[in-house]
């Protein structure tokens, strides 16, 4: 249910913002708007508003929307004199200057990019929490080991640019891997010594699905956390079994456990299986039998007890960092992040088209729904970050020069500027057929990847 609601919220917000961009700029340009529809197909709700009596519609298929403007090319010969006066026809979209038409078409994608800027601005202003870029396990056969990167080092810069969190480091490494064969990494060790590493990207698999850290053999640092219970959810398997706060788990089914991660790993692979826990409580050892509940995690059935680890604030402070920025700096960073993400998306698309990056990175509605649900479960801040990222993707996708998309119309209008007259009806009809074919192929690849991920999951 959370996944469905989060997906509907994501699509609803992004479609409304996109179409409102077209709608508002069309009104500013004096164009008569006939309909503003959220979704396609049979109307579930409709009502007319405004001086133009614009029809607002909520339709049955919520995967998109559209703004219908008065356009003589879409009217029959009988409709012109019957429905619309000459005053109305002068407000038709097709009678507007090419510059007004460009502004109206461009407004949708721009609205999505502006939404991303607003969301990122809010997140940067409120404060961004992330894991410090402390190196954990280094694959001895990986590229990171060849670059002499070692566990415990803290990454300071990637390609000369400062990084504060693992998210920053991952993003910087991903960008560099697409453009360069090597990258300079600056780090400090436990003795506070400044180290310079040259990391090679030679031979890595250009698969957008695989985390760049996995490709180079790096993992974030995970501290060894004692297996002491600090939280018990109501009506959970842990509560029913009789666990108490501050219980220290010593053994599970006779196997000694050194930290909380070992306990979690045993529970995850034991759904609906009775386990015997040896627990230390008030300097006494007790035996508690408990059966982890089966839980569907992204189509994988895992065990879950409903108990959380006890963490000291000092341990969290060592692992996490929260960055706050002033409203002005937040705006600058929001614009920069939106720009960088947009350019990165275009680079990825170009490399997919040339075969340099796998097409497996193309995601469809099922993957978007999955990530919408996961981000919503992690909290509002995470969900808003996800919403900003998808909004950028929608904006960039619509600017591609593919007929039937906004970018395709812009391509026609640019040609009209140089040609001195609109492109012919034949060219537009042919372009629409090509555009629908390309979109159909893109959607087929996206759905194929979605189903493959579900089967693999």
Residue 442: band (very low, low, confident or very high) from pLDDT cuts 50, 70, 90: confident
Residue 47: band (very low, low, confident or very high) from pLDDT cuts 50, 70, 90: very high
Active site residue: 19, 153, 176, 186, which one? 19
Task: Decide if 215 contacts 205 (C-beta within 8 A).
Answer: yes
pLDDT, one tens digit per residue, over 151-161 is: 999 999 999 99
Which residue in 221, 220, 238 sits closest to 230, CA to CA? 238
Domains 130-223+314-322 and 229-310 share a fold: yes
Which residue in 65, 14, 119 sits closest to 380, CA to CA? 119
Which residue in 363, 237, 222, 233 sits closest to 288, CA to CA? 237
pLDDT exceeds 90 at position 337: yes
pTM: 0.78
pLDDT, one tens digit per residue, over 234-255 is: 889 999 999 999 999 999 999 9
Distance from C-alpha of 55 to C-alpha of 48, rounded to nearest angstrom:
4
Task: Decide if 292 contacts 273 (C-beta within 8 A).
Answer: yes
User: Which of 50-59, 317-326, 339-348 is the least confident region?
Assistant: 317-326
Look over the chain and give the mean of its residue pLDDT values, rounded to a whole number. Answer: 87
Sequence spans of domains, the chain: 101-127+324-457, 130-223+314-322, 229-310
Distance from C-alpha of 249 to C-alpha of 251, rounded to nearest angstrom:
6
Task: Judge whether 239 counts as a catalytic residue.
Answer: no
Q: Which residue has the higher pLDDT, 359 or 89?
A: 89
Q: State residue 299's pLDDT score.
A: 60
pLDDT exceeds 70 at position 274: yes
The residue behind tokens 């909380």 is 260
Distance from C-alpha of 352 to C-alpha of 451, rounded to nearest angstrom:
20
Residue 175: band (very low, low, confident or very high) from pLDDT cuts 50, 70, 90: confident
Residue 436: band (very low, low, confident or very high) from pLDDT cuts 50, 70, 90: confident
| Strand-pair category, 135-138 with 218-220 | antiparallel
Q: State residue 455's pLDDT score.
A: 62
Residue 168 φ/ψ, nearest 5 degrees: -60, -45
Which residue in 406, 396, 407 sits closest to 116, CA to CA? 396
At the top level of CATH, which class does the domain 229-310 belong to? Answer: mainly beta
Question: HSE (CB half, 13 Å, CA atoms) of 133?
Answer: 23
Distance from C-alpha of 88 to C-alpha of 32, rounded to nearest angstrom:
7
User: Which of 13-17, 111-115, 269-273, 453-457 is the least confident region?
Assistant: 453-457
pLDDT, one tens digit per residue, over 195-204 is: 999 999 887 7
| Strand-pair category, 194-200 with 182-188 | antiparallel
Question: HSE (CB half, 13 Å, CA atoms) of 227?
Answer: 23
Distance from C-alpha of 346 to C-alpha of 341, rounded to nearest angstrom:
9
Average pLDDT over residues 7-23: 91
Q: State residue 96's pLDDT score.
A: 93
Task: Check residue 363 and report its DSSP letter.
Answer: -
| Share above pLDDT 70 across residues of the chain, in percent, rounded to a whole number | 93
Q: State residue 318's pLDDT score.
A: 76
Q: State residue 339's pLDDT score.
A: 95
Distance from C-alpha of 448 to C-alpha of 194, rounded to nearest angstrom:
47
Residues 6+ apart with CB under 8 A from 291: 237, 241, 272, 273, 274, 275
pLDDT, one tens digit per residue, over 73-101 is: 877 665 555 577 788 889 999 899 999 99
Q: State residue 276's pLDDT score.
A: 94
| Strand-pair category, 154-158 with 161-162 | antiparallel
Distance from C-alpha of 154 to C-alpha of 197, rounded to nearest angstrom:
12
Query: Within a 10 A sphere around the Cβ of 123, how many other Cβ atoms?
Result: 20
pLDDT exceeds 90 at position 215: no
Q: Which long-range contacts (CB under 8 A, 24 or more apart) does 378-385 make?
A: 381/123, 381/126, 381/129, 383/6, 384/119, 384/122, 384/123, 385/119, 385/120, 385/123
Task: Decide if 275 contacts 305 (C-beta within 8 A).
Answer: no
Q: State residue 342's pLDDT score.
A: 93
Residue 23: band (very low, low, confident or very high) from pLDDT cuts 50, 70, 90: very high
At the top level of CATH, which class does the domain 130-223+314-322 belong to? Answer: mainly beta
């Amino acid at each position: 249910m959370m996944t469905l609601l989060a997906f509907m919220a994501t699509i609803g917000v992004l479609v409304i913002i996109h179409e409102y961009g077209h709608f508002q700029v069309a009104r500013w340009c004096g164009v008569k708007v006939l309909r503003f529809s959220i979704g396609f197909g049979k109307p579930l709700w409709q009502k007319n508003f405004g001086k133009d009596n614009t029809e607002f519609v909520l339709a049955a298929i919520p995967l998109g929307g559209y703004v219908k403007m008065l356009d003589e090319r879409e009217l029959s010969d009988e409709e012109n004199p019957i429905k619309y006066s000459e005053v109305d026809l002068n407000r038709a979209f097709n009678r507007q200057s090419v510059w007004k038409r460009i502004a109206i078409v461009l407004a949708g994608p721009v609205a999505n990019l502006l939404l991303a800027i607003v969301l990122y601005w809010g997140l940067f202003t409120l404060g961004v929490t992330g894991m410090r870029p402390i190196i954990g396990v280094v694959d001895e056969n990986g590229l990171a080991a060849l670059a002499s990167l070692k566990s415990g080092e803290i990454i300071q810069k990637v390609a000369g640019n400062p990084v504060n969190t693992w998210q920053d480091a991952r993003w910087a490494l991903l960008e560099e891997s697409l453009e360069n064969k090597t990258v300079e990494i600056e780090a400090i060790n436990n003795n506070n010594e400044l180290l310079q590493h040259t990391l090679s990207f030679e031979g890595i698999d250009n698969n957008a699905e695989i985390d760049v850290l996995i490709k180079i053999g790096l993992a974030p640092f995970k501290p060894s956390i004692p297996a002491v219970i600090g939280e018990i959810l109501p009506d959970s398997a842990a509560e029913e079994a009789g666990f108490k706060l501050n219980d220290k788990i010593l053994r599970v089914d006779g196997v000694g456990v050194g930290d909380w991660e070992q306990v979690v790993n045993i529970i995850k692979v034991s759904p609906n299986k009775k386990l015997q826990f040896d627990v230390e409580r008030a300097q006494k050892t007790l035996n508690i039998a408990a059966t982890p509940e089966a839980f569907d995690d992204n189509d994988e059935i895992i065990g879950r007890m409903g108990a959380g680890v006890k963490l000291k604030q000092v341990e969290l402070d060592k692992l996490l960092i929260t960055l706050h920025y002033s409203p002005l700096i937040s705006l600058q960073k929001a614009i920069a992040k939106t720009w960088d993400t947009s350019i990165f998306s275009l680079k990825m698309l170009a490399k997919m088209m040339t075969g340099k990056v796998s097409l497996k990175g193309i995601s469809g509605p099922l993957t978007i729904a999955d990530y919408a649900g996961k981000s919503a479960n992690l909290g509002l801040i995470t969900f808003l970050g996800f919403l900003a990222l998808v909004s950028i993707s929608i904006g960039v996708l619509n600017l591609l020069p593919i007929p039937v998309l906004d970018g395709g119309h812009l391509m026609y209008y640019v040609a009209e500027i140089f040609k001195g007259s609109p492109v012919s009806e034949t060219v537009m009809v042919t372009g629409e057929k090509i555009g629908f074919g390309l979109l159909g192929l893109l959607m087929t690849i996206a759905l194929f990847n979605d189903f493959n991920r579900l089967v693999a999951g």
